[in-house]
């Protein structure tokens, strides 16, 4: 059951350096991210999968030395578009039309509306909008990881500009948003492993408007 898996997962602090996540599991986690819904279906983010140990050492150094980055076997980097351009919007709409072999006036009007709105906006506003889509991917990745029995740690604790530099993201029109090490917990060495998962009770979290 999904809720059991979500209760099982936690933001793992110590991963076992001796255990690597099998490629088929990594592939299914990434596929869940690729299937993430995004605003207007633009998929304005990409995932960079870092396994290279030296690159992960460099990343750890600009991420509060968080050990999971190198103790895990894979590091997913969620990188959002730095802005929305007419080219990016048109590419996605053209691709959808081509894949479906179908278009409609309503869909083309929607494209025009986006073209008249997004590219003219401040790049930072566009990036922040794109970053919100990347977080949907992050949520799905950690859910899919839990489903696969794989541990992960969602992280914002890094210097995005420095990570962009390490991975050459700016040159590709991307900016890092969040990272997610994947691996397996080392229970005896993880202070968080035995502690209760804490969430506000439902009545302080949900408002019913019946
Ligand atoms: C966007 C985001 C950024 C986070 N950044 C970090 C981080 O840099 N390092 C870390 O150890 N945990 C990080 N966390 C983990 C949270 O502290 C953790 O998810 C929260 O306390 C709930 O606990 P649980 O995930 O173990 O259930 C982050 C979580 C999210 C969703």
How much distance in Å is there from the Cα of 152 to the middle of ligand 1?
10
| pTM of the shown model | 0.98
Asked if residue 179 lies in contact with residue 75, where contact means CB atoms within 8 angstroms, the answer is yes
What is the atom index within ligand 1 of the atom nearest the CA of 192? Answer: 26
Asked if residue 73 lies in contact with residue 19, where contact means CB atoms within 8 angstroms, the answer is yes
User: What local confidence, expressed as pLDDT, does residue 26 receive?
Assistant: 98
Q: Whose CA is nearest to atom 16 of ligand 1?
A: 11
How much distance in Å is there from the Cα of 26 to the middle of ligand 1?
20
User: What local confidence, expressed as pLDDT, does residue 163 receive?
Assistant: 99
Torsion of CA 168, 169, 173, 176, to 10 degrees: -160
| Tens digit of each residue's pLDDT (9 = 90 or more) over 70-98 | 999 999 999 999 999 999 999 999 999 99
What is the atom index within ligand 1 of the atom nearest the CA of 197? Answer: 27
User: What local confidence, expressed as pLDDT, does residue 148 receive?
Assistant: 98
Residue the block writes with tokens 């351009």: 85
Strand-pairing partners, residue 80, are 45, 175
- Interacting residues of 150 by C-beta distance below 8 A, sequence separation 6+: 21, 25, 29, 182, 183, 184
**Fold for the domain defined by 2-84+121-204:** NADH Oxidase (3.40.109)
Q: Whose CA is nearest to atom 19 of ligand 1?
A: 11
Domain layout of the chain by residue ranges: 2-84+121-204, 87-119
Show the low-confidence residues of the chain (pLDDT under 70): none
C-alpha–C-alpha distance, residues 62 and 48, integer Å: 17
**Whose CA is closest to 50, among 140, 189, 155?**
155
Interior/surface letters 19-37, b for 16+ CB within 10 angstroms, e for the rest? ebbeeebbeebbebbeebe
C-alpha–C-alpha distance, residues 153 and 9, integer Å: 9
Q: Please count the CA atoms within 13 angstroms of the CA of 28 that sit on its side-chain side.
A: 12
């Amino acid at each position: 059951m999904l809720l059991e898996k979500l209760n099982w997962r936690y933001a793992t602090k110590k991963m076992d350096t001796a255990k690597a996540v099998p490629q088929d599991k990594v592939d299914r986690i990434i596929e869940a991210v690729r299937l993430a819904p995004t605003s207007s279906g633009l998929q304005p983010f990409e995932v960079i999968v870092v396994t290279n140990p030296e690159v992960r050492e460099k990343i750890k150094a600009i991420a509060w030395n968080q050990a999971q980055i190198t103790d895990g076997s894979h590091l997913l980097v969620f990188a959002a578009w730095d802005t929305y351009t007419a080219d990016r919007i048109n590419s996605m709409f053209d691709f959808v039309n081509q894949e479906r072999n179908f278009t409609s006036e309503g869909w083309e009007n929607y494209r025009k509306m986006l073209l008249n709105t997004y590219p003219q906006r401040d790049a930072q506003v566009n990036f922040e909008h794109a970053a919100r889509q990347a977080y949907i991917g992050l949520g799905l990745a950690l859910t899919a990881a839990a489903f696969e029995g794989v541990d992960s740690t969602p992280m914002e604790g890094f210097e995005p500009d420095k990570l962009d530099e390490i991975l050459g993201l700016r040159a590709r029109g991307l900016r890092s948003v969040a990272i997610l090490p994947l691996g397996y917990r080392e229970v005896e060495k993880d202070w968080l492993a035995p502690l209760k998962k804490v969430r506000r009770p439902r009545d302080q979290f949900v408002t019913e408007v019946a």
